[in-house]
Structure 1
Amino acid sequence: MLCKIFFAEQFDALRQRCGVAERFVESLSRCLKWDSKGGKTKSVFLKTLDDRLVMKSLSPVETSAFLRFAPDYFNIMAKTLFHDLPSVLAKMLGFFQVLIKNPLTNTELKLDLLVMENLFYDRAPTRIFDLKGSMRNRRIQSTGEHNEVLLDENMVEYIYESPLFAREHAKGLLRASVFNDTLFLALQNVMDYSLMVAVDEDKKELVVGIIDCIRTYTWDKRLESWIKDRGFAGGGRNRPTVTSPKEYKSRFREAMKRYILQSPTCWDQFRVAPPNHAAAPRPRFEEMEGPK
């Protein structure tokens, strides 16, 4: 068995700053295959038994994209961790190439493994959403299963009944973070990322993070976008999930602003009341079809 470590010094510095360096190897020494219950990827997922870390196998295309992406990722992490740049990028904490050879059968297995933080470590979310800002095939039939991952249309249905609010400061940080992160990702020619949102109804908290940050707009994604945009794959009611990084960035920003609202403040009582002093209507989200 061979293990090649990529960007060893940079990742070590990042882990030190994030406070996970001391237990990193100990965590990795005990892990199991994990069903992430979300997305359509064929990647292998592993999760450490202490629930701290998640590993994902990358395809050769994703590996090449990550190796180009990594230096700029370390730069934005430095700005985030040392200069307080608002960001909700889920932290990538290591990248390894593992090669296992069997001398008896003369076969070998190679895995390119990206190690990431588990966004929901030490949490007990009651709802989890994987949000891309698209309404095309972004709904699943909920079964109520533990850790079930719901999609954009499920989110719209959920917030119609129970709107999600964040306090003014938190909402401002989220808005700034999404703006910074999507700008960075668009400059890297990255699209198809998601905002993971976990709703902890008991603690009245939201946990958020942007994941899948290394899928670049390659020729296959361009072709997929072209086919879906012309309605050849299921109708043209909405814009396709896959689109150019610039369009994806704009659509993503607009959707995230609407999914999570700013909670009312004490100053709201001084605003003009609706006609006949009727109660203000509950926010509606029919327009969440996405920007035209």
Structure 2
Amino acid sequence: MFHYFFLSRCVKWDSTGGKSGSAFLKTLDDRFIIKELSRTELEAFVQFAPSYFEYFAEALFHGLPTVLGKIFGFYQIQVKNSIPGAKSYTLDVLIMENLFYHRKMTRIFDLKGSMRNRHVEQTGKENEVLLDENMVEYIYESPLFVRENNKKLLRTSLWNDTLFLAKVNVMDYSLVIGIDSEKNELVVGIIDFIRTFTWDKKLESWVKEKGLVGGTGVGKEPTVITPKQYKNRFRQAMDRYILMAPGPYYQGPPPWYYPAWVIRALFTT
């Protein structure tokens, strides 16, 4: 009954940053997000779900660090039209956590660790989603630092999660980073982890790698890579995007080198 209550009280949500074309809804209290699954995503999720919930149970009961987005339920909604001759339809939806519940974000990034077509023109609109190249531009001016313990926790979480996703043949996921300037905090979570490395992706990867169609060229990476390659690239990129704050024994730039909001995060308790 809990999820049915929220499903009946939600509104359409225009999510930016994604290319799947899926419909999104958000509960009126902003706590949950409902995503429509395509037929391909549905088939992938049916295969993926048992491993996902087993992994989350292990993380919960054994205290293993994870930043994998939480899925709370899966439902199939059948809408029957009472008008004679009118078509009925079915929706397959996931209920997921809203990472930014009760928060106002200054910047939001959707990161995959790739520089290929990962830039958008900034409009200044509220909650616009920026990509990897935008992140590189941003941290050049305002590096993102976290405390040593948080950096280790994030690194361990990403290591655990990407190892799991690679084992179950999942790729093309993203790390969402939200900058909460009011609280001097970063909010992170891995999303879009449904798509598996199916035979069509394997074929596309092989063709691109061999340069048979629109070759990768010198210095370019293939648009489709294996889950293992994706995992390694993802880990390396996220480690570069978020840096460890200097501790008491750090030999480096003086405190005034860093942005004001980073200084407050580093030297307040």
Task: Please report the TM-score for the alignment, with normalisation by the length of structure 2.
Answer: 0.88
- What are the equivalent positions in structure 2 for 1:88-127 lying under 5 Å apart? 88-103=67-82, 104-127=84-107
Aligned 8 A contact 1:191 1:242 in 2? no
Which aligned runs of 4 or more in structure 1 are off by greater than 4 angstroms?
A: 226-229, 233-237
SS in 2 for 1:102: coil
Alpha-carbon distance between aligned partners in 2 of 1:236 and 1:59, rounded to the nearest angstrom? 35
Question: Which one of 138, 148, 151 corresponds to residue 171 of structure 1?
Answer: 151
Q: What CA deviation, in whole Å up to 9, does each residue of 1:238-277 have, x standing for no partner? A: 3134310000000000000000000000011xx4x7xxxx
SS in 2 for 1:190: coil
- Please tell me the residue identity of whatever aligns with 1:59: S
- Please tell me the residue identity of whatever aligns with 1:256: M
Sort the Cα spacing of 1:279 and 1:207 in 2 relative to 1 into closer, same or farther, 3 A. Answer: closer
SS in 1 for 2:88: strand
- What are the equivalent positions in structure 2 for 1:40-119 lying under 5 Å apart? 40-103=19-82, 104-119=84-99
Q: What CA deviation, in whole Å up to 9, does each residue of 1:48-83 have, x standing for no partner? A: 111011111111121111111111111111122111
Alpha-carbon distance between aligned partners in 1 of 2:70 and 2:78, rounded to the nearest angstrom? 25
Aligned 8 A contact 2:171 2:197 in 1? yes
Q: What CA deviation, in whole Å up to 9, does each residue of 1:144-177 have, x standing for no partner? A: 1100000000000000000000101110010000
SS in 1 for 2:65: coil
Aligned 8 A contact 1:195 1:209 in 2? yes
SS in 1 for 2:220: coil
- What are the equivalent positions in structure 2 for 1:143-222 lying under 5 Å apart? 143-222=123-202
Alpha-carbon distance between aligned partners in 1 of 2:15 and 2:207, rounded to the nearest angstrom? 28
SS in 2 for 1:242: coil
Q: Cα RMSD between the aligned structures?
A: 2.2
Alpha-carbon distance between aligned partners in 1 of 2:195 and 2:7, rounded to the nearest angstrom? 25
Is 2:229 aligned against 1:250? no
Alpha-carbon distance between aligned partners in 2 of 1:26 and 1:233, rounded to the nearest angstrom? 51
- Please tell me the residue identity of whatever aligns with 1:203: K
- Please tell me the residue identity of whatever aligns with 1:245: P
- Please tell me the residue identity of whatever aligns with 1:179: W
Aligned 8 A contact 1:164 1:260 in 2? yes
Alpha-carbon distance between aligned partners in 2 of 1:237 and 1:146, rounded to the nearest angstrom? 35
* Most deviating of 68-77 and 246-255: 68-77
Alpha-carbon distance between aligned partners in 1 of 2:13 and 2:53, rounded to the nearest angstrom? 27
Aligned 8 A contact 1:163 1:261 in 2? yes
SS in 1 for 2:34: strand
Q: Which runs of 5+ in 1 are unaligned?
A: 1-21, 284-292
Aligned 8 A contact 1:129 1:150 in 2? yes
Alpha-carbon distance between aligned partners in 2 of 1:144 and 1:56, rounded to the nearest angstrom? 26
Is 2:119 aligned against 1:139? yes
- Please tell me the residue identity of whatever aligns with 1:215: R
SS in 2 for 1:267: coil
Q: Which runs of 5+ in 2 are unaligned?
A: 259-269
Is 2:221 aligned against 1:239? yes
Alpha-carbon distance between aligned partners in 2 of 1:154 and 1:78, rounded to the nearest angstrom? 35
Aligned 8 A contact 2:106 2:178 in 1? yes
Sort the Cα spacing of 1:223 and 1:54 in 2 relative to 1 into closer, same or farther, 3 A. Answer: same
Residue 260 of structure 1: aligned partner: 242
SS in 1 for 2:134: helix
Aligned 8 A contact 2:135 2:241 in 1? yes
Aligned 8 A contact 2:36 2:93 in 1? yes
* Most deviating of 138-147 and 76-85: 76-85
Alpha-carbon distance between aligned partners in 2 of 1:98 and 1:267, rounded to the nearest angstrom? 58
- Please tell me the residue identity of whatever aligns with 1:123: R
What is the CA-CA distance between 1:38 and the residue it aligns to? 1.0
